[in-house]
Structure 1
Amino acid sequence: MASIKKRENGKWRARYRDNNGREHAKHFDRKTDAQRWLDEVAASVVTGQYVDPNAGRMTFRAYAEQWREAQVHRPSSQAHVEMMLRRHAYPTLGDRPLSAILPSEVQAWVKRLCVGGADRKPLAPSTVGVVHSIVSSVFKAAVRDRRIPANPCEGTRLPKRERTRVVPITTDQVEALTAAMPDELRALVTFAAGTGVRGGELRGLTSDRVHFLKREVTIDRQLVGVDGATPVWGPPKTEASYRTVPLPNVVLEALQDHLAAHDAGPDGLLFTLGGLPISRQAFGHQWRTPARAAGIPVGQGLHALRHYYASLLIRHGESVKTVQARLGHASAAETLDTYSHLWPDSDDRTRDAVDAVLGASSTLEVVR
């Protein structure tokens, strides 16, 4: 039900009731403007795009927390999303009503994240992209819930990410790292360098996943956890991460020597610290000093050994699909995006291929 009535002050009052019986009203200087507003409301109801003006009064923080609790995330992902919202989104957007946040304000917020301020350092472009993606997901959910008509994050201009080329560490650095690690973690370094498995996959590796006779290891889970909590088993990163990786002799020998000196830990874990499962944080403490001594960037963590393994496969002529399968990448494009610069240059083969066909009839003298 809708109506337009002229008030004593000369204003035109347009009003309607929604499906819940709630009344909504707005005042205009002209009757035509009041009618246009009612027509727009009627059209949105017919097309299924109607949004209750009161639904967007919920604050971004309140809705984001409600959204966050409903997500099916791993414990580590839950902690990451909570931290990103709390540190980077709530200080600016948290107490604002959902419907009051404009695209221009989202753009200004992104700019502040990029340049920093007196109380905070600027964020890396990749981090800004992650935070914006999380906030955009919250607004997308609010649109689906009919709390707001549109996502104010759409169209935001984000800082350009500068892709840095992977520079693999050397064999000398791997050997120096192995020698500097605590005794119970030396075989872990050799295993990572010889298989390229991810940190969580390696820390969650149990003896029943290693097949000594077949010389292979099955990767079908990983150890995950958050700060201050006991790590738990979870699924691998992606569907492509379920895989079987061949074990070179050097890895098998290191593992056999390791098991002779250190029994498999609880639940058959191959690698432990003091007999306990290794959390990511605990391993980080053990990694930093040996990594610095070996000249390895500390921030790379076990990924430095994953890159080393990939570089070995590429150097010895393995195809893109093989490297993708060994690393558990979701697609060959991901493998090429990361390691394409490590494959040998094919310029000479290109010249030889053309010369082999066209060169026979060519009279061009090539100056050497």
Structure 2
Amino acid sequence: MGYVVDRWHLSTPPKGAAECGEHKGKVAAKAHGKGKRWQARYNGPDGAERTSLHRTKPEAEKEITKQEASKLDGSWIDPDRGKTKIEQVVFDIWLPATNTIERTKREYRGTMNRYLIPEWAGREVRSIRPSEAGAWQNLLTSKYELGGTTPNRVSRLVRSVFRMAVIDRMIPVSPFDGIKAPTLVEAHIDPPDVSTVRLIIREAHRDRWAVMAQLDALTGMRSGEIRGLRVDNLRLLNQALDVHQQLVYEPGKGYYLDKLKTGAGRRTLPLNKAAIKLLAWYLSKYPPPKEGEWAGLVFTMPGGKPIGESTLDWAFKAMCTKAKARRYRWHDLRHHYASVLIAGGENPKVVSRRLGHTDVAFTMRIYAHLFAEAEEQTRSVLDAAWAEPDETGGSGSESSEPAGTNPEPVPRERALVQVNP
């Protein structure tokens, strides 16, 4: 339990000390008459003593009762930590606690330095009001001119800083509670179909680009994942491929293999016969480097050096131009893979797992319109399966449907691209 201290008087005065002229029976301390008289002292849940000053003794006693009750019901807030500056909360508390790789932490640091610290660097974490939180969010589009998904992404990071402050007993509630996050504007996904991907692959001017494009259409790997693919990630006898790392580039450090951002990204992908045949052919014709830093890397430039992201993008756009197709991005092959899975009837959880997404809701947001198209296909399949004989052109009972309204036959699913390198 806590206790109250009279700051203005000595608790154990020395013998013969002069009595305080203002308070009978008391011996004045050096602090007599300076500031608030009564000090409440109590221990926090961590065992460290906290203090606060009050004008009257009942006020100090009331504060102790309040603090003891909050410790019991779990609502206790550290009054001193609420004074922590936001910059310290971000870089000394929140960032080290984020469960992600170091490269992503560097990206988070850059985001905070660009959009949060210039606005609130000198502020105490407890001082931010909800109205200020909402105003800061508006700056993302008005002052910093961010668009697309970026305002929502930046806001989510900053919101997580204040959630950490709540969890760490710095503040009772986040100033963002009740403040709507920026609208998440997802770009409309219109991936190339199988015939278009086939056409683009046929226009590749190097085997490596053709094989990489086809393999990506068959696995949906990210650019860094396929560029960082190693021989020991391939389990062709088991018809599987392990996605365990990615190739990244960092100024001042160059290229290196790094682990994936999230645990969900680390996954095993099933390989169909076309993918296995493709990889076996490519590895026999272009054996990976056997020694050095890039030993075992499946796809490399001449001389065994890794392939840069911009180089891969350039090659793919050149293929699109030559094929007279839309200038797709390399990432659109990943969208193509997802669209094939969805059209084939895979459920959202499976699609999310194949793509390495952390949340199936994220997958649904991106590909909602494709799932809607797949639902319509399901209706057509059911209509065809349950049609009466006369509805499909056969003999049988009379139908109340007028002539010419029979459903079109459901086309067979087109095969995945299978191009000989």
- TM above 0.5, yes or no, is yes
Query: Deviations for 1:52-93, whole angstroms, at most 9, x for unmatched residues?
Result: 432222211112111213434213321221122111211112
CA distance in 2, matches of 1:83, 1:132: 14
Maintained 8 Å contact 1:12/1:34: no
CA distance in 2, matches of 1:23, 1:250: 68
- Name the amino acid aligned to 1:209: N
CA distance in 2, matches of 1:353, 1:173: 31
Q: Does 1:260 align with 2:285?
A: yes
Alignment match, 2:4: 2
CA distance in 2, matches of 1:97, 1:237: 32
Alignment match, 1:249: 274
Q: Which one is further off, 37-46 or 104-113?
A: 37-46
**1:218 partner SS:** strand
Alignment match, 1:340: 371
Normalized per residue, the structure richer in helix is 1
- Name the amino acid aligned to 2:274: N
CA distance in 2, matches of 1:332, 1:54: 40
Shift of 1:193: 1.6
Q: Does 1:87 align with 2:89?
A: no
Shift of the 153–181 alpha-carbon distance from structure 1 to 2, 3 Å rule, reads farther
Shift of the 21–221 alpha-carbon distance from structure 1 to 2, 3 Å rule, reads closer
Q: TM-score, normalised on structure 1?
A: 0.76
Shift of 1:99: 1.4
CA distance in 2, matches of 1:236, 1:138: 19
CA distance in 2, matches of 1:87, 1:350: 54
Alignment match, 2:189: 166
Maintained 8 Å contact 1:76/1:226: no
Alignment match, 2:246: 223
**1:73 partner SS:** coil
Q: TM-score, normalised on structure 2?
A: 0.68
Q: Superposition RMSD on alpha carbons, in Å?
A: 4.2
Alignment match, 1:310: 338
**1:79 partner SS:** helix
Alignment match, 2:417: none
Alignment match, 2:13: none
Query: Deviations for 1:126-154, whole angstroms, at most 9, x for unmatched residues?
Result: 32232222222222322333222322222
Aligned residue pairs: how many?
A: 354
Shift of the 155–14 alpha-carbon distance from structure 1 to 2, 3 Å rule, reads farther
CA distance in 2, matches of 1:123, 1:233: 29
Alignment match, 2:96: 69
**2:250 partner SS:** coil
Maintained 8 Å contact 1:51/1:149: yes
Alignment match, 1:44: 70
Query: Deviations for 1:115-134, whole angstroms, at most 9, x for unmatched residues?
Result: 322xx31343x322322222
Shift of the 86–198 alpha-carbon distance from structure 1 to 2, 3 Å rule, reads same
Alignment match, 1:56: 82
Maintained 8 Å contact 1:194/1:251: no
Alignment match, 2:299: 271
**1:267 partner SS:** coil
Quote the sequence identity (%).
Answer: 23
Query: Deviations for 1:240-270, whole angstroms, at most 9, x for unmatched residues?
Result: 7522422443663476246524644623010
CA distance in 2, matches of 1:208, 1:38: 63
Alignment match, 2:159: 136
Shift of the 178–116 alpha-carbon distance from structure 1 to 2, 3 Å rule, reads farther
CA distance in 1, matches of 2:131, 2:284: 60
Gaps of 5+ in 2: 9-21, 23-31, 406-421
Alignment match, 2:145: 121
Query: Deviations for 1:27-75, whole angstroms, at most 9, x for unmatched residues?
Result: 59xx987876665445334434333432222211112111213434213
Query: Deviations for 1:212-263, whole angstroms, at most 9, x for unmatched residues?
Result: 5x38342141225452233224258444752242244366347624652464
- Name the amino acid aligned to 2:339: S
Shift of the 95–361 alpha-carbon distance from structure 1 to 2, 3 Å rule, reads farther
